[in-house]
Chain A
């Protein structure tokens, strides 16, 4: 049998999750087809997914395909399952399509999205809790669960749309989501883009009109823009016409930046990198670069923004490094602090402050918080059994012990935390502990230590979380980590260490000890600010006026979301606590981990030696930002993304728009007389711009980057269809049309330059210089698309923005940085297995597809003969299939497919 799926069709989810059932019983070939293709000969409107049976029959209903897979695996139909499936088709689906349409196509959020489906969600929740079974039709997961899970997943994977109060629904949904077939289906279909992966599909759906609007017409491609309402178009045109005049005046630069009453004050921190490790790409994307994008965006919104970071310098690791290099710890810190600062400067990170933790302010503030905790009875004293390496003659700090995790059995668990299960570990609980320096087995010795009494603070913490979490933008992984900690119950946490290089403990009997870095490292944010301005408390003791965003990788969540808030709450000094904790997953290198010791991966200081500009690194790292799940850096992918997205899409569009102004209009932006088509384009760009804002407000950095690329795709297509280079040679009317198209295109380019600013600041500045964009328009981004380059505006000299990355160049880099082998990413249940082709070959195919796509569009635009169009479409589809095969990605509709 043959399963036909299309990129972004929601029906793929349950079908792929159910397909696993027939493994070993029947062969399922999976092919990707376009959303517009009619695979079922007797149906007028296209349906996907579709299963073609060996008998020649077709199953075109998603539930029936799933049902068939279940039946083949020996499952028997029952009344309860039938009832759920009928309910899904008649009640849930209409409500859900409306919600998804509002969310993805119209960019609505909150109650506007949840409203239409709330009744249905409540129905599931009640049924689950009433029948007291973990699954819809009994004790085990079955057809009904898969079909409903698949339908709901696109919406509910965003925790904002999984209401807290529907506990039974939540746990049912989460249980299914973590099961392997479902997880795999979700990865394949949503491709880490969340619900936006469904955009191409949903855009083609008619606007739902609940409660009974269930028409399922599929508008042909040409009429796609018509989904915008007249009103939306009119509003976009009005905003456009206001132009530069509607820009507010630019905020004056302040030094130092301090909160202003009545304004939005955004304080942004990036996790403090440990001073003696050179950061690798994963560290950079995890905190510093992610926070930078948000800080730059925040400034574009004219929010009062302070972005700070610094090196975390205390601890044993520094002491050891100092011994190795024959320097004092302070000298080591001085030396490496500069290395860090240089790397971030090269990456164009826009810190307001890049400080360090080894300062008198750090001692002062840490000791103050400690004293307050002590006098309020939140500090305990206890004897600690600690690991001591006799050979190295010292107590072993957590990071110097390795062993087997007592919870999950992971072999390389660290002394403080297991990388595998994420649980915190007391070093002496490790099984088979080893000193990481000399590999001998340490012995347990006892010593007096201080503890933060977390159980006593737990109630305050929960109260604070209860107020903070709902409606905030904490990432789901952060919520999950904190929730699981609280569920397990908090335990007293040791905050001192037997070391010299650290913040001294101001207590008798503890003169030879220092604070544990995880008590005082998070205080580093405060002391770094204190070194920047003596009015630091206006940021850090001002929770009413300050919105605190903290960026980090997920392993840092407990310390920022739990330990520091507990210290601050216990200190009772009105500290500003994190409002939005933004945690990334991990970035892998090719197929493995980054490893300094094995020389695998790209480290911050090496990136500059590759000859690839910082902005290209920024772009690619942000494009693959591990948002929602782990992702991997891949050289081949970087080449492809550079050559397809930057060079062929974004760069090509902006360059053409500028070149037309120079070549055809002497460098002056021509008069624009907007036709209804142009107005719809305006509205479409506005819609995408709004989408970009919504995503960035929620710190969905990677997803927002897609919006930029979508707009430039719209732009490319607009130029392609209207052919200004031909019209400029035509009649007066044609020349006027060429002018309008050029003018509108160059204004879209100007908009893109601003949207691009958080991601690629240098490229953004280059475009703005080329277009001579007026200064206020360069630094402010509104939610409307304005005409910022009015007729008569003179632009500068236009030149290409990006360079092609060549295959041999990338190949030599791959070898230089190790981790050579490329493997195809995890595959869906059953697919046609194919060999991956050379990137060059892929590039050739992609170019051909772009060309062929343009031919098809031109024909359609000219309303050419149907058969002729069909023939060209067939060629295009064939090319796409070839590409899919070449890429070894049978489920992806190839890039190069440009939709309107």
Chain B
């Protein structure tokens, strides 16, 4: 999914009606937003945070200093780790780490839904759709979290819904 497309999804999920135009910069097609009353903004997470503020939903950036830092940390993770890697081994490590992190968490910050959940969901979608049932079971916590976010109102939109089997099939794996 191109970054501009993702930002359009985000706008809709935030309830922003206007619809911005995005241009893309360089090889990596980094999104650029030309704002009306200021300089342009460059970068997926930068623009995303800007849109959140535009929609008056600052709570999605975290409410305490700790939460804010954690949200930004996972946004950085999204653009450096998730987007940076396409080889199988890296993705496996990434899912393994994320699975272990989410073991005792509902959302990335713990108990509050934030922008980090949205953008990580968008970023991981292309990998999760390709997982086998066995792999989904292996990354059980990621699957639980992913399934939860895709059912969060207004987030998934036209993206395909990933099916997760409720009953465990491979009891030996963990």
- Which residues of A come within 8 Å of B, CB atoms? 41-45, 53, 55, 57, 59-61, 63-65, 67-68, 71-72, 77, 79, 82-83, 85-87, 89-90, 93, 211, 214-215
Contact = CB atoms under 8 A, between A and B. Distances in A.
A44 B110 CA distance: 20
A55 B61 CA distance: 19
A89 B101 CA distance: 22
A87 B68 contact: no
Given A60-B73, A64-B73, 4 more contacts: A59-B69, A71-B68, A86-B79, A214-B80
B5 interface: no
B35 to A, nearest CB: 9
Interface stretch (B42-50, B122-130, B157-165): B42-50
B61 A77 contact: yes
Contact of B72 (A42, A53, A67, A90): A67
Contact of B93 (A44, A55, A77): A44
Contacts of A59: 69-70, 73
Nearest to B80: A89
Interface string B95-107: 0111011010000
Interface in B66-82: 66, 68-70, 72-73, 75-77, 79-80
Given A68-B65, A71-B65, A82-B45, A45 B72 contact: no
A214 B49 contact: no
A211 B28 CA distance: 11
Contact of B49 (A42, A68, A82, A93): A82
A44 B85 CA distance: 16
21 contacts: A43-B97, A44-B96, A55-B66, A57-B66, A59-B73, A61-B72, A61-B76, A61-B77, A64-B69, A65-B69, A68-B68, A68-B69, A77-B49, A79-B41, A79-B50, A83-B42, A83-B43, A85-B72, A86-B43, A86-B76, A87-B42
B68 A67 contact: yes
A63 B93 contact: no
Interface of B: 27-28, 30, 41-46, 49-50, 61, 65-66, 68-70, 72-73, 75-77, 79-80, 84-85, 90, 93, 96-98, 100-101, 103, 110
A63 B79 CA distance: 14
B43 A87 contact: yes
A601 to B, nearest CB: 49
A42 B101 CA distance: 5
Contacts of B77: 61
A77 B68 contact: yes
Given A83-B42, A83-B43, A90-B80, A72 B65 contact: yes
Contacts of B70: 57, 59, 64
Nearest to B30: A90
A215 B91 CA distance: 12
A676 B101 CA distance: 41
Nearest to A41: B100
The B interface is mostly helix, strand or loop, or mixed, namely: helix
Contacts of A90: 28, 30, 43, 79-80
A64 B76 contact: yes
Contact of A211 (B27, B49, B101, B110): B27
A85 B102 CA distance: 25
A215 B76 contact: no
A93 B97 CA distance: 22
A53 B68 CA distance: 13
Contact of A82 (B27, B30, B46, B69): B46
Contacts of A63: 72, 76
B69 A67 contact: yes
Nearest to A76: B68
A211 to B, nearest CB: 7
Nearest to B44: A86
Contacts of B27: 211
Contacts of B46: 79, 82-83, 86
A883 to B, nearest CB: 32
Residue of A72, A86, A87, A215 most packed against chain B (CB within 10 A): A86
A841 to B, nearest CB: 40
A87 B28 CA distance: 12
A58 B57 CA distance: 25
Contacts of A57: 66, 70, 110
Contact of A53 (B66, B75, B96): B66
Contact of A89 (B79, B97, B98): B79
Contacts of A77: 49, 61, 68, 72
A580 B30 CA distance: 45
Nearest to A214: B84
Nearest to A65: B69
A215 B49 CA distance: 27
A868 to B, nearest CB: 25
A264 B97 CA distance: 58
A185 to B, nearest CB: 19
A86 B45 contact: yes
A220 to B, nearest CB: 14
Contacts of A65: 69
A286 to B, nearest CB: 46
A89 B103 CA distance: 27
A870 B122 CA distance: 39
A45 B93 contact: yes
Nearest to B43: A86
Nearest to A215: B90
Contacts of B30: 90
Contacts of B76: 61, 63-64, 85-86, 89
Given A59-B70, A79-B50, A42 B97 contact: yes
